[in-house]
Structure 1
Amino acid sequence: MFNKAIENYEDTYGHLPPAVATLGTSGDTQSWRLVIMPFIESNSIPSIYNRNEPWNGPTNRTLPSIEWYECPSHRETSDTSYLAVVAPECVWTDPPRKLEEITDDHSQTILLIDVGHSDIDWKEPRDLTFDEAVELLTAPVDPDEFTGHVEQASFLHQEHYFRHVAMLDGSVLRLRAPLDRETAIALLTANGGETIDPAALESLGQPELRYDRLYGLLLLIAIAVLPVVPAVRKRVLPRVISEETSDA
């Protein structure tokens, strides 16, 4: 939904939405989450949002939370789950970029990050800096943040925490948490020139193998099979030799 609304905004204005916009006569700033509202079908918020007062003014603070801006796993507050990364290196800049100015592969460039317990109201004009985003993607896992975003461990796989990210091409990826710093930076930058192998990128959404158990399983299979090998050789090898002799 966000990707389509942002795409429609870009088609209309010739550039991506501003991360923070000044609207109305108050001079107060509003979030991109409000700016793209007119491009989201079947919503009445633009008509009732008071653009002449702050986002947390008397009228606006009474507006309901919006499920579009909340991950289904984190709907207990009015916090938004979806944050932009605002920095010269990234998609969201001041002034806003044209889509054509972003030279990195759009399928490998992050547009929005799903953040559990962001402590940012959906109306608030606040998102992530570049350093905050790198820290978020690479920091050790806090299980409380990943409620609903975890696959339990299995015999051959480790416990798998993940977060969703919306990419600039409209796709949504599931990324393992945490990422290594090099990969995080490559995904965040808009014109960094980095390229990630598609297979490697896909693997970031998969749980990691427990190699100790995998190797142990292979060893058990080998131990089970080895006693059978001599018997098979006794039966098969003479037959092969006999066939080769008769052919000669």
Structure 2
Amino acid sequence: MPSLISSYCLRPIVAAATALSPIASIRADEAARVSHLTPQSIAAVTVRLANAAKSPVMQQYPVEVLAAATKDFLGVPLGAIDRVTAMVEPPVGVSPQYAIVLESSRPISFDNFRAELTEHTTPGELLGRPMLESSEGMKPSFCLLDDQTLAVGPRLFLKRLVRGVKAGQSELQELMTTEDALQNDLHAAVTLGPLRPVMEMGITAAKQEIDPEALPFLEGILLIDRIVLAVDLDSERGSSLTANAVSSAAADEIERLIADGYARLREKLLEDSDFNEKVRNHPEATMRAWGDYWLRIMDQYALSLGEMRQGETTFVLAKVGPGSYQSQATILAIAGVMTSLLLPAVQAAREAARRNASTNNVKQILLAMLNHESTFSRLPAQAICDSDGKPLLSWRVAILPFIEQSALYEKFHLDEPWDSPHNIKLLAEMPADYLDPSSGMAAEDGKTHYLAVSGEGTAFAGKPEGVRLAEFSDGLSRSVIVVQVNDAHAVEWTKPVDYDTAANADNPTAGIGELHPGVFVTGFADGHVVPTPVSITPEEFAAGASIAGGETTEWP
């Protein structure tokens, strides 16, 4: 088969089938029971693992490796793991909210865990239950809900699980505890309602960046209420992947989008130069036949689209009737492909939401600077200095009272440098407003992504006193004073170090990096914030960084 067709079709299907089939091909003698699902969760998947090694389909995969891993890392045989349930709640700030609950037929002991699995934790208790608490913000904690049930996730999430959850309090709980759900070997559900406000915000921000032709399809996510994947490997009920629209009218719009999407996909394929040159117009008849085959299959699938809708709001995206294990496993490959198609849109919306949060952080910083100016008739100096003019602490410390952090401000010894024995301890108390939400770091790491633009001719030229607004002869709305950098260029938030225009004169983004795809967040002296393309030229950056240079070059 031509490599082009492979890249369009077989690669994602094979990848999805390989990744998902071992998980899906798991059986158990008893019905799955979901007893640890929080009412705040928006997505969940439960898989029964008992007798997994005996499944005929599992013999096609390296089950020996999985068995060795569970024994090696957890001290629990694979055959003793009855059930694994994973759940996700809406994110809070920069921290993901999730938990994985593993239920075993044998006792679980932290003593049997592999050392590198828990090296970031310290032993303790959580409401009387044994716990290994993470000392690193983004890594999970471990808690034994009982002697045979292990929960993994952030501490606050685990605390809710230890307290216990009540069934039937949310749409997701109902979807995960129906009679069919209890009988399925794998059952997963996602409810999009709680995420709709975040998705709307993300889509609004994404409008500025995506192809206008793709926007209706991205907005189509808002038309979906829930998605359910049901897999029964006992060949009694079959398996299905379904989606429900929020209303009948929304379902009508989804039908239109699906039909339009396939029409555009076919059109794009026919316009693709590689497809035409290497397949349809190939000198060999066999190669041309592959092109005819691909178009015929697309047309046949397009005809089946009208059969997806069943009822007012339900779409059956894939369905496999009772049959062999191989037939049942097919639906997971389809689910994998559907996920791979949906994931980029979800990730784009999530990134847009995070960039919006970063934009808000910069706005709060600018507002604090302007409030400082209203109080002292000057913007904060780049550093709090000693009597000899030596920089001690960053301007980020000076504006703490203006971001509702007066108590933290009072803890500093303002006559000592940032790394004095006393002040260095305050790094871990960095306000969350100084951390970009797209970062892999935590606030406790003490590094900020928001730097002042410093250097000769800028608002932060290293003088012991801050500048007055009257000095911005180029105009407040044309003068850049704060930029957002990536993790590699983040600095200790109390350290009097910022973005150096002289050091980065030839390549402005060399000292910024790319934390958000294609852009970095930029704050101006009048308080407005914009995303700036990383393709900005040295001339454009120099003009924006200058506050009184008289340049006419516009910021991009």
Partners of 2:506 and 2:483 in 1: CA distance: 13
SS at match of 1:84: strand
Q: Is the 8 A contact 2:522 2:531 kept in 1?
A: yes
Question: Which digits, 9 at most, give the CA deviation of each residue in 1:54-102, with x for residues without a partner?
Answer: 2122232222232111111125142111111222311113142211111
Q: How does 1:108-147 map to 2 (within 5 A)?
A: 108-117=478-487, 118-135=489-506, 137-139=508-510, 145-147=513-515
- 1:3 CA displacement: 1.1
Query: Structure 1 residue 47: deviation in Å?
Result: 2.0
1:162 aligned partner: 519
1:187-227 Cα deviation digits (max 9, x unpaired): 11111212355xxx5xx4xxxxxxxxxxxxxxxxxxxxxxx
Structure 1 stretches lacking a partner, 5+ long: 151-160, 205-248
Superposed, which structure 2 residues align to 1:70-109 within 5 Å? 70-74=435-439, 76=441, 77-93=445-461, 94=463, 95-109=465-479
Q: Does residue 195 of the first structure (1) align with residue 552 of the second (2)?
A: yes
Q: Please give the alpha-carbon distance, in whole angstroms, between the structure 2 residues aligned to 1:138 and 1:53.
A: 32
Shift of 1:163: 0.5
Higher relative contact order (CA 8 A, sep 6+): 1
Relative distance call for 1:175 and 1:67 in structure 2 (3 A) is same
Q: What secondary structure, in the 3-state scheme, does the structure 1 residue paired with 2:384 have? A: strand
Secondary structure of the corresponding residue to residue 453 of structure 2: coil
Tell me the TM-score normalized by structure 2: 0.31
Q: Structure 1 residues 11 and 133 mapped into 2: Cα distance closer, same or farther (>3 Å)?
A: farther
Q: 1:144-163 CA deviation, whole Å, 9 max, x = no partner?
A: x423x11xxxxxxxxxx110
Against the structure 1 CA distance between its residues 166 and 133, is the aligned structure 2 distance closer, same or farther, given a 3 Å change threshold? Answer: farther
Query: What does 1:28-107 align with in structure 2 at a 5 Å threshold?
Result: 29-63=392-426, 64=428, 65-74=430-439, 76=441, 77-93=445-461, 94=463, 95-107=465-477
Amino acid at match of 2:448: T
The alpha carbon displacement at 1:119 in A equals 4.2
- Relative to structure 1, the CA distance from residue 44 to residue 75 in structure 2 (aligned partners, 3 Å threshold; closer, same or farther) is farther
1: CA distance between counterparts of 2:410 and 2:466? Answer: 25
- The 2-side partners of 1:131 and 1:28 are apart by 19
Q: Could you tell me which residue of structure 1 aligns to residue 287 of structure 2? A: none
- Supply the distance in 2 between the matched residues of 1:138 and 1:54 (Cα, whole angstroms): 29
Please identify the structure whose Cα radius of gyration is greater: 2
Change (3 A) 1:52 1:191: closer
**Contact 2:520–2:532 (CA<8 Å) still a contact in 1?**
yes
TM-score by length of structure 1 reads: 0.66
Q: State whether residues 138 and 180 of structure 1, in contact with CA within 8 Å, keep that contact through their aligned partners in structure 2.
A: no
Change beyond 3 A, Cα 1:135–1:60: farther
C-alpha change, 1:90 and 1:41, in structure 2 (3 Å) is same
Between the aligned residues of both structures, percent identity stands at 26
Bigger drift between 86-95 and 181-190 goes to: 86-95
Between the aligned partners of 1:115 and 1:73, the Cα distance in structure 2 is: 11
Cα drift, residue 23 of structure 1: 5.6
- Cα distance in 1 for partners of 2:457, 2:383 equals 17
Q: Does 1:14 align with 2:377?
A: yes
Asked if the contact 1:85/1:91 (under 8 Å) is kept, the reply is yes
CA distance in 1 between counterparts of 2:542 and 2:400 reads 29
Q: Distance in 1 between matches of 2:391 and 2:541?
A: 33
Structure 1 contact 67–75 (Cα < 8 Å) conserved: no
- Assess, with a 3 A threshold, how the Cα gap between structure 1 residues 134 and 71 changes in structure 2: closer, same or farther: farther
Structure with greater proportional helix content: 2
For the residues of structure 1 that align with 2:541 and 2:416, how far apart are their CA atoms? 37
SS at the partner of 1:83? strand
Aligned 8 A contact 2:472 2:479 in 1: no
* Long gaps (5+) in structure 2: 1-363
Tell me, yes or no, if structure 1 residue 4 matches structure 2 residue 372.
no
More strand by share: 2
3-state secondary structure, aligned to 1:30: strand
In the alignment, is the contact (CA less than 8 A) between 1:138 and 1:184 conserved in 2?
Answer: no
1:22 positional shift: 2.1
Equivalent residues of 1:28, 1:53 under 8 A apart: no
- Tell me the matched-pair count: 184
